[in-house]
Structure 1
Amino acid sequence: MNNTFTNRPVTMNENKNLLEIEEHMYILDDVKKPNVFRNMFPYSEIPKIPFNDRTVPHDMPKDIWITDTTFRDGQQSRAPYSTEQIVTIYDYLHRLGGENGLIRASEFFLYSKKDRDAVYKCLEKGYKFPEITSWIRASKEDFKLVKEIGMKETGILVSCSDYHIFMKLKMTRKQAMEHYLSVIKECLEEGISPRCHLEDITRADIYGYVVPFCLELMKLMKEYQIPIKIRACDTMGYGVNYPGAVIPRSVQGIIYALHTHAGVPHELLEWHGHNDFYKAVVNSSTAWLYGCSGVNTSLFGIGERTGNTPLEAMVFEYAQLRGTLNGMDTRVITELAEYYEKEIGYHIPPRTPFVGKNFNVTRAGIHADGLLKNEEIYNIFDTEKFLNRPVLCAVSNTSGLAGIAHWINTYFHLPEEKKLDKNCELVHEVKKWVDAEYESGRVTVLTDEELLKVIDDASKKLGILLV
């Protein structure tokens, strides 16, 4: 029987206080034909999630944070932002991240004059966080843009699956690795810190290509004494967080391989997720739990195809996992949503968590009754405190005068001295209309648009000014 561990040294792992035998070295498997994992990704069928029941331990870093791609991936699926809009949003991100800089970095395109102008104006702000970074293809021509602006860090696209290496780049694994390393060395020679975007990692050969490539990157980092970040990009949203799932679909398996076998430190690991299979948020949280310090996000999840991990979602994931917001100002999230709706013209679906206009509105009559007695019964947390969004009770035939008054007060954010009670003439006028609707056979709750029209008509009739 061949024992691969016979002559390998036994060493003490100071972090785990356990004796360990060094595993075999991971060298590039320069295959002649692409490995596209057809058993997991049969294109004419739904992708499969196989298991081998190999699990890895939780390994959450001491420090975790959020990074932003609103101005890069977020701009790939919508009309480009103006320079002024980018600068305004960047200000919001700075305030949201708080004094401890939990929104650690924001990446920018450099290709258009508009984007470069935005970079210069954001740099003029002098904020420590979010740090301004760039993104380029693995091209020496693109790298000239980074040098011209004087960026301290840049992302570099280093596609890592055979789908991309063989089918898009028309290279072998060895050729791709050598090409990527040449561009990364040029970055390092200029004193610029590279951030390697391992595109399509959830369809890549983790131990035949990804780990050997990252080992080479760690050698370069040691040689140049300049940090090299690794961003694991779940480009197609294939990642899963199920214990015992097989790599390359296992998020925790990928992070374990990058940290334990490729030797990438926690603080240089980052996860970039897409939401094709509704798993962007849970996969990002899983990446944190198993060794990534950074998770990459975009505001409201706006991004390629189904979008990226929503930034606002990870703010609240952070709070739930850490037990603190650590200085983040979550009320800025509501300000951002209002800015997108009113100034940018972007429509946020009304049931979007935390930011949709109906996310904390209860519509069922029995729910409304409980909500009016104690809002904790049907509200996820104190949304007025954390999002400046008081819980709202939709109006139906069971709401009564008090329910209508509550709706008007909360929808219009009326201050205490201007709040209406159930005896107000305006409330009675609206109640008459509501009663008539249900007497005519209506069974559904009333929409905001219907109520606003009735309230507006009644206000004009009675000469009452709400706002």
Structure 2
Amino acid sequence: MAENNYFLDRPVSLNVKNNLLEIEEHMYILDDVKKPNVFRNMFPYSEVPKIPFNDRTVPHNMPRNIWITDTTFRDGQQSRAPYTTEQIVKIYDYLHRLGGPKGMIRASEFFLYSKKDRDAVYKCMEKGYEFPEVTSWIRASKEDFKLVKEIGMKETGILVSCSDYHIFLKLKMTRKQAMEHYLSVVRDCLEEGISVRCHLEDITRADIYGYVVPFCLELMKLMKEYQIPVKVRACDTMGYGVNYPGAVIPRSVQGIIYALHTHAGVPHELLEWHGHNDFYKSVVNSTTAWLYGCSGVNTSLFGIGERTGNTPLEAMVFEYAQLKGELNGMDTTVITELAEYYEKEIGYHIPERTPFVGKNFNVTRAGIHADGLLKNEEIYNIFDTEKFLNRPVLCAVSNTSGLAGIAHWINTYFGLTQEQQLDKTSPIVTEVKKWVDQQYADGRVTVMTDRELVEQIDDACRQLNMPQFRA
């Protein structure tokens, strides 16, 4: 009866999206608890985290326009040696090309603390690119805000940790104290005409309706007051988010996005998801955030980031294409150029089996697969990797490859032009085939590695007094 009485005096309004009458929900106010709520039932720490369900589901609500943002120079730098200024500028150029003329990579965020980082910011801003927009990241500190003002940034991210783990245990504040502190820094930014991006750190362990929604409602009030955009980034800092229908918040990605959009009133275009991969869910959670109301998904090149890393930028490029049926101007061949730049110039090793960029991502090694691949590459290749990534499909060499298979491997591995390509009558192919046959005659059961084949090809070229190939 009490629940029925609760709805008696609530206004009824039309939802213009689904054309249904709805009763207005109550306003969510801050629950200024005396002790931290760390959801010990879900996060026992001495046990593996638990994923409870209540079977409450929310509808799909993908925005008309979705895009990618980048944190390669911020979160991506927190788990590796810092990039040089020149490397940052070069990668920023690549991101601009990859995002295409429609700016599908909408923004890239930078640290401001070191002279190197500030120099990189200046040099990237001097490029004059509309996209990716150069933005900064600071702690919720008035001292940090001085750096933003000095550089003249149009937008800055602010760390506004939202779980009680951070508010009580790290900041040693109450929820009310934390909210008031964060809002004061946000107001300072808005007073200077600087747009704010609030990073809700650790949202998948936060009290969504007791703290996060009330805080975001206050942010939306400030945005209305100053008429300056205030973005909200939902940060799955520990990778606890799940996309399972009916999972309980704060672990439910769609539940969080629904709360931020529907109950806190954050517009789609000001909502962004930032995921981590601790439980192998960064990509699927980021896609889920798109499907349920986020316009922006924050990423890092090759997933490089804190601990297990962030959502890989290149993964979301192809997630976008699969959801929308087009690339909207993105130049995916730049992904391969970036991978080569990281390997050759930065010295970062990309694991061989990494999708889209690993050395072996489109190499088939099973003998029966190789046979099918030689007949028609669509059988065992995910899409036209040569068209989209300048990466022709490769067939590993085994006892079933034959002369044609070895010739195919040499032609594709070394990227030989039509005029340079070898066929099965080539003496180099014949020499390599002799070595391969001997390997299996001696009992070998595994396929040839790239290094072994390159060594044998080099030896054959020397024996035949022919120039060596270079990849």
Q: Deviations over 1:398-445 (max 9, x none)?
A: 100000000000000000011000000000000010011010000000
Distance in 1 of aligned mates of 2:464 and 2:333: 35
Distance in 2 of aligned mates of 1:21 and 1:221: 26
Matches within 5 A, 1:90-239: 90-239=92-241
Distance in 2 of aligned mates of 1:294 and 1:95: 19
Match of 1:19 among 18, 21, 26: 21
Residue 399 of structure 1 corresponds to which residue in structure 2?
401
Matches within 5 A, 1:383-422: 383-422=385-424
Q: Is 1:60 matched with 2:45? A: no
Matches within 5 A, 1:228-267: 228-267=230-269
Q: Deviations over 1:322-354 (max 9, x none)?
A: 000000000000000000000000000000000
Amino acid at match of 1:237: G
Match of 1:369 among 365, 368, 371: 371
Residue 418 of structure 1: SS of its match in structure 2?
Answer: coil
Distance in 1 of aligned mates of 2:59 and 2:10: 24
Amino acid at match of 1:211: V
Q: Is 1:269 matched with 2:271? A: yes
Aligned-pair CA distance for 1:192: 0.2
Q: Is 1:329 matched with 2:321? A: no
Structure 2: runs of 5+ lacking an equivalent: none
Residue 135 of structure 2: SS of its match in structure 1?
Answer: strand
Q: Deviations over 1:175-194 (max 9, x none)?
A: 00000000000000000000
Distance in 2 of aligned mates of 1:322 and 1:89: 26
Distance in 2 of aligned mates of 1:67 and 1:370: 39
Provide the alpha-carbon RMSD of the alignment: 0.5
Distance in 2 of aligned mates of 1:446 and 1:234: 41
Residue 241 of structure 2: SS of its match in structure 1?
Answer: coil
Residue 290 of structure 1 corresponds to which residue in structure 2?
292
Distance in 1 of aligned mates of 2:464 and 2:108: 51
Residue 84 of structure 1: SS of its match in structure 2?
Answer: helix
Of 12-21 and 314-323, deviating more is 12-21
Residue 4 of structure 1 corresponds to which residue in structure 2?
6
Residue 87 of structure 1 corresponds to which residue in structure 2?
89
Distance in 2 of aligned mates of 1:270 and 1:459: 54
TM-score, normalised with respect to structure 1: 1.00
Distance in 2 of aligned mates of 1:14 and 1:300: 40
Aligned-pair CA distance for 1:15: 2.5
Q: Deviations over 1:13-54 (max 9, x none)?
A: 222211111111100000000000000000100000000000
Distance in 2 of aligned mates of 1:442 and 1:12: 71
Q: Deviations over 1:341-368 (max 9, x none)?
A: 0000000000000000000000000000
Distance in 1 of aligned mates of 2:383 and 2:80: 32
Distance in 1 of aligned mates of 2:161 and 2:461: 60
Of 451-460 and 381-390, deviating more is 451-460
Misfit runs of 4+, over 4 Å = none
Amino acid at match of 2:162: C
Amino acid at match of 2:283: V
Aligned-pair CA distance for 1:309: 0.1
Distance in 2 of aligned mates of 1:190 and 1:464: 68
Match of 1:47 among 46, 49, 72: 49
Structure 1: runs of 5+ lacking an equivalent: none
Residue 416 of structure 1: SS of its match in structure 2?
Answer: coil
Distance in 1 of aligned mates of 2:125 and 2:194: 17
Distance in 2 of aligned mates of 1:464 and 1:370: 32
Residue 24 of structure 1: SS of its match in structure 2?
Answer: coil
Residue 6 of structure 2: SS of its match in structure 1?
Answer: coil
Aligned-pair CA distance for 1:461: 1.4
Q: Between Structure 1 and Structure 2, how many residues are aligned?
A: 467
Residue 427 of structure 2 corresponds to which residue in structure 1?
425
Residue 441 of structure 2 corresponds to which residue in structure 1?
439
Overall identity of the aligned pairs, in %: 87
TM-score, normalised with respect to structure 2: 0.99
Distance in 2 of aligned mates of 1:29 and 1:415: 67
Residue 452 of structure 1 corresponds to which residue in structure 2?
454
Distance in 2 of aligned mates of 1:369 and 1:13: 57
Matches within 5 A, 1:70-81: 70-81=72-83
